[in-house]
């Protein structure tokens, strides 16, 4: 992509209501813009990042044997009447009616729809287990949307539902998904913890959350410094007062707060703030029973499916990457999430030698399938650098004043270091580090 042809509206100032780094930088960098309360548009850069995260999620799930589907986003209210959630989900579920005055729902989650999909199509234990997922828009009419992409009303979520002949097999899948989620978040370059969680309204026995560690996280978790134990405080403390008191504390206050108790492994426990980006539940037969979704077991006896459900907040992950990876100048994307891996900056486009080299490197990197953007705008050096830092390309090749000596520079966004490299070596050097 040529920067001169790209739609990347960056700004010097952030909207006055954006308080979190991810919100400010994603808006300033031209990734997203707000359409309404809790509603966001993804502009080209935001769309690229969103798709990259979606692809990582899809690749790992497919490797683990899951099937991707796509359910209709608008669902008839009757679907929700049958499970009883038309009443229990309350106002979070946005209802609409069509021209015939029939009532519909903008799906906030899809247990019912997925059970209905499988019901009467999977009739034998021989067809189990089965794990179906979709990466699709969800709508939850939050009482108070906030923090940009972290708590929107419309958001992109991966939701998966698995069906099993026995509880043992369901637990096997649950463990497999925990391992798969770890691969996904590791590939995305995130520092995260798996924690014991409160199952909440969705119900079920075992439930684990995946938290990206970030000062701005809305949840408070307890983690061990020696083993991989972690828990959401909602799980550990009994009363709402205790949980709320801790959640209100800032990151700084929490890090000073010590825990006297030791972990069962003997390690020290401490409080951290986390952003919940994944949640896996053991559902049992709650939905399959109420919706009468059954299969025949080895003895030909009808039995309700054992189920589990697995969620990942895909659009929330876009913001989570930045909450965890930014500095005062802007975004620092990880390798799997960067909108473009290499930015070629022609310092002065009136300098023919600089422009020529820029074009040459641009086409060579394209030939090698490197995601590359050429900053060919008629702007000054400082302007282009600030822009590149705000957007957060991992590497920028600066073609500028050192070219007369046969040198260019490679700017590393994460370390902010510039390294001079000869023109002859720059291609091999860049291919090495990306």
Partner RNA sequence: CGGGGUGUAGCUCAGUAUGGUUAGAGUACCUGGUUUGGGACCAGGGGGCCGAAGGUUCGAGUCCUUUCACCCCGACCA
Min CB(238)–RNA separation in Å: 14
Give 137 or 289: the residue with its C-beta nearer to RNA: 137
Token code pair at residue 335:
């390798």
User: Per rule CB under 7 A, is residue 193 in the interface with RNA?
Assistant: no
* Structure letter (DSSP) for residue 405: G
Min CB(273)–RNA separation in Å: 12
User: Per rule CB under 7 A, is residue 401 in the interface with RNA?
Assistant: yes
Q: Label the pairing between strands 330-331 and 302-304.
A: unpaired
Question: Site mask, RNA, residues 63-102, x = CB under 7 A?
Answer: -----------------------------x----------
What Cα–Cα distance (Å) separates residue 239 from each residue in 221, 255, 262? 15, 22, 21
* Maximum C-alpha span of the chain: 82
Question: Site mask, RNA, residues 223-262, x = CB under 7 A?
Answer: -----------------x---x---x--------------
How many Cα neighbours within 13 Å face the side chain of 382?
0
Give 151 or 164: the residue with its C-beta nearer to RNA: 151
SS3 content of the chain, % helix, strand, coil (to 5): 35, 30, 35
Min CB(55)–RNA separation in Å: 19
Contact present, 236 and 220 (Cβ < 8 Å): no
Min CB(415)–RNA separation in Å: 12
User: Per rule CB under 7 A, is residue 381 in the interface with RNA?
Assistant: yes
Min CB(292)–RNA separation in Å: 25
As a whole number of angstroms, the distance between CA 394 and CA 121 comes to 47
Task: Decide: residue 77, CB within 10 A, 0-12 exposed, 13-18 middle, 19+ buried.
Answer: middle
Question: Site mask, RNA, residues 202-221, x = CB under 7 A?
Answer: x------x--------x---
Query: Which residue of 47, 82, 119, 386 would you call a contact of RNA, by CB under 7 A?
Result: 386
Q: Label the pairing between strands 268-284 and 258-262.
A: antiparallel
Query: Which residue of 34, 166, 289, 355 would you call a contact of RNA, by CB under 7 A?
Result: 34
Query: Which residue of 46, 129, 145, 274 would you call a contact of RNA, by CB under 7 A?
Result: 145
Helix or strand (DSSP H, E) at 430: helix 426-433
Min CB(327)–RNA separation in Å: 11
Contact present, 122 and 128 (Cβ < 8 Å): yes
What does the angle CA 140 – CA 9 – CA 212 come to, to the nearest 5 degrees?
Answer: 45
CB within 8 Å of 329: residues ≥ 6 apart? 386, 389, 390
User: Per rule CB under 7 A, is residue 402 in the interface with RNA?
Assistant: yes
User: Per rule CB under 7 A, is residue 326 in the interface with RNA?
Assistant: no
Question: Site mask, RNA, residues 265-304, x = CB under 7 A?
Answer: -----------x--x-------------------------
Give 122 or 243: the residue with its C-beta nearer to RNA: 243
Judged by CB under 7 A, which stretch of 58-66, 311-319, 362-370, 422-430 contacts RNA? 311-319
* Structure letter (DSSP) for residue 151: B
Among candidate residues 155, 176, 178, 156, the one with its CA nearest the CA of residue 164 = 176
Per the listing, tokens 């486009």 go with 349
Angle between the N-to-C axes of helices 314-324 and 21-28, in degrees from 0 to 180, rounded to the nearest 10: 100
Query: Which residue of 346, 373, 390, 397 would you call a contact of RNA, by CB under 7 A?
Result: 390
Query: Which residue of 98, 383, 406, 431 would you call a contact of RNA, by CB under 7 A?
Result: 383
Query: Which residue of 1, 6, 10, 355 would you call a contact of RNA, by CB under 7 A?
Result: 10
Among candidate residues 307, 308, 325, the one with its CA nearest the CA of residue 415 = 325
As a whole number of angstroms, the distance between CA 291 and CA 283 comes to 14
User: Per rule CB under 7 A, is residue 339 in the interface with RNA?
Assistant: no
Judged by CB under 7 A, which stretch of 174-182, 253-261, 266-274, 393-401 contacts RNA? 393-401
Contact present, 132 and 114 (Cβ < 8 Å): yes
User: Per rule CB under 7 A, is residue 414 in the interface with RNA?
Assistant: no
Considering only residues 161 to 190 of the shown chain, the ones binding RNA according to CB under 7 A are none
Strand partners, 312: 158, 278
Contact present, 283 and 307 (Cβ < 8 Å): yes
What are phi and psi for residue 66, nearest 5 degrees? -90, 155
Min CB(224)–RNA separation in Å: 22
Min CB(375)–RNA separation in Å: 11
User: Per rule CB under 7 A, is residue 15 in the interface with RNA?
Assistant: yes
Summarize as ranges the residues that interact with RNA (CB under 7 A). 10-17, 19, 28, 34, 36-39, 92, 140, 142-147, 150-153, 155, 157, 200-202, 209, 218, 240, 244, 248, 276, 279, 311, 313, 316, 329, 347-348, 350, 380-383, 385-387, 389-390, 398, 400-403, 409, 411, 418
């Amino acid at each position: 992509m040529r920067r001169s042809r790209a739609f990347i509206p960056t700004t010097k100032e952030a909207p006055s209501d954006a308080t979190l780094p991810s919100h400010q930088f994603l808006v300033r960098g031209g990734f997203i813009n707000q359409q309404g309360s809790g509603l966001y548009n993804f502009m080209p850069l935001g769309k690229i990042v969103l798709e990259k995260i979606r692809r990582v999620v899809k690749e790992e799930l497919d490797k683990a044997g899951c099937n991707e589907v796509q359910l209709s986003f608008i669902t008839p209210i009757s679907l929700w009447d049958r499970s009883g959630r038309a009443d229990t989900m309350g106002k979070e579920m946005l209802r609409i009616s069509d021209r015939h005055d029939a009532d519909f729902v903008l799906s906030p989650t899809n247990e019912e729809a997925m059970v209905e999909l499988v019901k009467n199509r999977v009739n034998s234990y021989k067809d189990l287990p089965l794990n179906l997922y979709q990466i699709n828009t969800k709508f939850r009419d939050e009482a108070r949307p906030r923090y940009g992409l972290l708590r929107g009303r419309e958001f992109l979520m991966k939701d998966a539902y698995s069906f099993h002949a026995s509880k043992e097999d369901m637990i096997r899948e649950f463990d497999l998904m925990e391992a798969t989620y770890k691969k996904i978040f590791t590939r995305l370059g995130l520092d995260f913890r798996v924690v014991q969680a409160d199952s909440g309204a969705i119900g079920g026995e075992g439930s684990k959350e995946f938290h990206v560690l970030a000062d701005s996280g809305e949840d408070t978790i307890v983690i061990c410094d020696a083993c991989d134990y972690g828990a959401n405080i909602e799980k550990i403390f009994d009363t709402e007062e205790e949980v709320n008191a801790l959640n209100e504390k800032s990151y700084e206050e929490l890090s000073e707060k010590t825990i006297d108790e030791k972990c069962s492994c003997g390690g020290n426990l401490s409080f951290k703030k986390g952003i919940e980006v994944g949640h896996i539940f053991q559902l049992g037969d709650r939905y399959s029973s109420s919706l009468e979704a059954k299969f025949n077991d080895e003895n030909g006896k009808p039995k309700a499916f054992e189920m589990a459900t697995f969620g990942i907040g895909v659009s929330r992950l876009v913001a989570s990457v930045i909450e965890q990876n930014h500095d005062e100048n802007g975004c620092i994307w990880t390798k799997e999430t960067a909108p473009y891996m290499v930015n070629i900056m022609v310092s002065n486009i009136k300098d023919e030698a600089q422009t020529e080299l820029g074009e040459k490197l641009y086409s060579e990197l394209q030939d090698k399938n490197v995601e590359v953007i050429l900053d060919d705008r008629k702007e000054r050096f400082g302007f282009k650098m600030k822009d590149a830092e705000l957007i957060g390309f991992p590497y920028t090749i600066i073609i500028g004043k050192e070219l007369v000596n046969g040198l260019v520079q490679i700017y590393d966004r994460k370390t902010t270091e510039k390294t001079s490299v000869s023109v002859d070596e720059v291609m091999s050097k860049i291919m090495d580090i990306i």
